[in-house]
């Protein structure tokens, strides 16, 4: 659905991705810094998928502010130590938007930026769907949709058993919520009171076959999650301030998991991709790459 622009101007400068240490609230980036990072992520996504000639730019672009807030303000993590046992976990359930995750991992310092153009190339660590056995910072190998929420519940329950205080964040697509496994997992998370778990739904209204309302209507979406026993927060998924506030509110919720329904625009930031189902899984041509990068300058 169309959303109003925040009107916030974006800085032109680029931050150094070589920063080390623990990314957490004390060292969180400002809204202006995160806006600049979000723009770089969009440029990476366009460049990567364009060079590869394949990939999924639409849903990658719609989720940019969500992952920017997580990696540069909300989550506790160590890029120089991806397996740090006390890290917060980010699970990418909609694994086809791997370009988004690779871009934010590179900007965070897990990967060299120079590696991003190897997306989908033979022997690259950056395959079309994520592989946790080869890519640092990737928590789950993804491919088939609908599995990430179940996986995230297991990770959260493991933390509970091990007396760890880390939090688990899982990003789902709205079309992915057509999958029955999502709702089985939703029941389980509420039943076991997994309050260290936060699901974020990239609610851009489109999936590969068209509008969700035509393919499989999800509405009333928020009411469904509430009925399954979740704490529900709805936000403008492109407003960094709203997103960060929602994550803060989720931390205060006890005894039940939280879902943040982020209302977004598929292909956000690139005029000819916005609200276009065909760019769910179609890479931009060289001419379209040039136009998109011009718009994202």
Q: Tell me: the pLDDT tens digits for 200-216? A: 999 999 999 999 999 99
Cα–Cα distance for residue pair 7/25, rounded to 1 Å: 25
Residue 178: which residues within 8 A CB-CB, separation 6 or more? Answer: 207, 215, 216, 218
Tell me, yes or no, whether 25 lies in a domain: no
Its domain, for residue 177, covers 31-295
Tell me, yes or no, whether 50 lies in a domain: yes
**For all residues of the chain together, what is the average pLDDT?**
92
Proportion of the chain above pLDDT 70, given as a percent = 91
Tell me, yes or no, whether 23 lies in a domain: no
Stretch 275-292: mean pLDDT, rounded?
97
Cα–Cα distance for residue pair 196/88, rounded to 1 Å: 10
Residue 17: which residues within 8 A CB-CB, separation 6 or more? Answer: 106, 107, 108, 109, 113
Give the pLDDT band of residue 20 (cuts 50, 70, 90).
very low
Domain count across the chain: 1
Backbone conformation region of residue 207, classed left if phi is above 0, alpha if psi is from -120 to 50, else beta: beta
Give the pLDDT band of residue 13 (cuts 50, 70, 90).
very low
- 8: pLDDT strictly greater than 90: no
Tell me, yes or no, whether 1 lies in a domain: no
Give the pLDDT band of residue 261 (cuts 50, 70, 90).
very high
Angle at 154 between CA 70 and CA 248, to 5 degrees: 30
Tell me, yes or no, whether 198 lies in a domain: yes
- Residues belonging to the chain: 297
> What is the structure's pLDDT at 143?
86
Stretch 165-174: mean pLDDT, rounded?
98
- 30: pLDDT strictly greater than 90: yes
Tell me, yes or no, whether 5 lies in a domain: no
Stretch 36-65: mean pLDDT, rounded?
98
Where do the H-state alpha helices sit in 164-237? 180-191, 212-215, 221-227
> What is the structure's pLDDT at 17?
38
Query: Which CATH number belongs to the domain containing residue 66 in this structure?
Result: 3.40.50.970
Stretch 72-81: mean pLDDT, rounded?
97
Proportion of the chain above pLDDT 90, given as a percent = 90
Least confident range from 67-71, 142-146, 249-253: namely 142-146
Cα–Cα distance for residue pair 10/99, rounded to 1 Å: 22
Tell me, yes or no, whether 238 lies in a domain: yes
Tell me, yes or no, whether 22 lies in a domain: no
Give the pLDDT band of residue 27 (cuts 50, 70, 90).
low
């Amino acid at each position: 659905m169309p959303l109003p622009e925040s009107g916030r101007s974006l800085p032109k400068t680029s931050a150094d991705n070589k920063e080390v240490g623990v990314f957490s609230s004390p060292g969180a980036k400002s809204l202006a810094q995160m806006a600049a990072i979000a723009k770089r992520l969009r440029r990476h996504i366009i460049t990567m998928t364009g060079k590869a000639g394949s990939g999924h730019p639409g849903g990658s672009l719609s989720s940019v502010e969500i992952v920017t807030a997580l990696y540069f303000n909300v989550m506790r993590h160590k890029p120089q130590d991806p397996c740090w046992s006390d890290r917060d976990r980010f699970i990418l359930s909609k694994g086809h938007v791997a370009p988004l995750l690779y871009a934010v991992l590179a900007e965070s310092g897990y990967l060299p930026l120079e590696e991003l153009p190897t997306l989908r190339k033979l022997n690259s660590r950056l395959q079309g769907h994520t592989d946790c056995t080869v890519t640092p910072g990737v928590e789950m190998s993804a491919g088939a949709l609908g599995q990430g929420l179940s996986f995230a519940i297991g990770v959260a329950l493991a933390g509970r058993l091990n007396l760890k205080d880390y939090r688990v964040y899982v990003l789902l697509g709205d079309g992915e919520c057509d999958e029955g496994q999502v709702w089985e997992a939703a029941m389980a998370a509420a039943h076991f009171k997994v309050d260290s778990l936060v699901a974020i739904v990239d609610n851009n209204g489109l999936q590969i076959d068209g509008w969700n309302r035509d393919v499989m209507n999800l509405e009333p979406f928020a009411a469904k999650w509430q009925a399954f026993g979740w704490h529900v927060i709805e936000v403008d998924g492109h407003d960094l301030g709203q997103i960060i506030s929602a994550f803060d509110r989720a931390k205060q919720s006890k005894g039940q998991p939280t879902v943040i329904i982020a209302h977004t625009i598929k292909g956000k930031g690139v005029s000819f991709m916005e609200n276009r189902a065909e760019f769910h899984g179609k890479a931009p041509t060289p001419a379209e790459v040039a136009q998109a990068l011009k718009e994202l300058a």
